[in-house]
Structure 1
C-alpha cells in the first residue's frame, strides 16, 4: 500500500447523511480549511475553502451546480466557478484551489490529502 493511501492519512469528518445535496460545509482537515460538497446521493468532493482571488475562506458558502457535466462551486465573493473534481477555475484556467481525495467508509466521509495536480 502506498503512503498516499495509508489508512492513517484519512481523516474522518462527518457522516454522509449529515451533508445536504448541493450544499457545502467547512471542516478542518489535516490542519487545513477544507470545503466539502455533496453533489449527489453518493458523491462528496472537497476543495480548499479559500477563494484564490482574495484568499477569503468562503467556498463552502458558494453555489453548487453543474455546467456541461462539470460539478462546480461558484465563489460567493467573486462568482468565479471552480471544478469540484480538480479545483481548476472555470473562468481562468491558470488559477486553481487544492482538491482533496475523498472516500466514504461505512457511511463516514473520510478526507485524504491533496490530489496531485495534473499537468
Structure 2
C-alpha cells in the first residue's frame, strides 16, 4: 500500500530508501524476523507482502512478475504463476492449485510508510 509521507510509527522498521529500489522489480528483506517482498511500481507506489508463496511453500515472491488486473497492481508467483493483488493480498488466479497445507491462499500485506524518501515497513499494521 502506498502511504502518504508520515512519521513512521515506533513499530515500523526502516528498510531502505526509495531510490535503492528498482521500478517493477521486487526485493526481499528481513523485517522483525519475517521475510517480506517489497515492490516499487512504475507509478511510484511502494507495496510490501509476505515473501512466502503459499502455493509452493518457497520464499520467492520477491522474484515474481509485477503486472496489473485492471487498476489493481499484482504480483505473479515465479513458480506456479498464481496472481496476487498487491493492494489487499487476494489470490486472483489459483492456476487450479491449492495452497500448501496450513497456508491461506491470500498474502499478508504489510503497511508501507514513506518518510522523506525512506521506506518503513510496519508488521503491526498487517492486513
Q: TM-score, normalised by structure 1?
A: 0.86
8 A contact 2:53–2:61 mirrored in 1: yes
User: Aligned Cα RMSD in Å?
Assistant: 1.7
5+ residue gaps, structure 2: 1-6, 95-103
**Superposed structure 1 runs of 4+ greater than 6 Å apart:** none
Among 85, 106, 110, the residue aligned to 1:96: 106
8 A contact 2:8–2:115 mirrored in 1: no
How many equivalent residue pairs?
111
Name the counterpart of 1:30: 32
5+ residue gaps, structure 1: none
Distance 2:67 2:120 in 1: 23
Say which structure, 1 or 2, has more relative contact order (CA 8 Å, 6+ apart).
2
Q: TM-score, normalised by structure 2?
A: 0.81
Matching of residue 115 in structure 1 with residue 117 in structure 2? no
Distance 2:106 2:117 in 1: 29
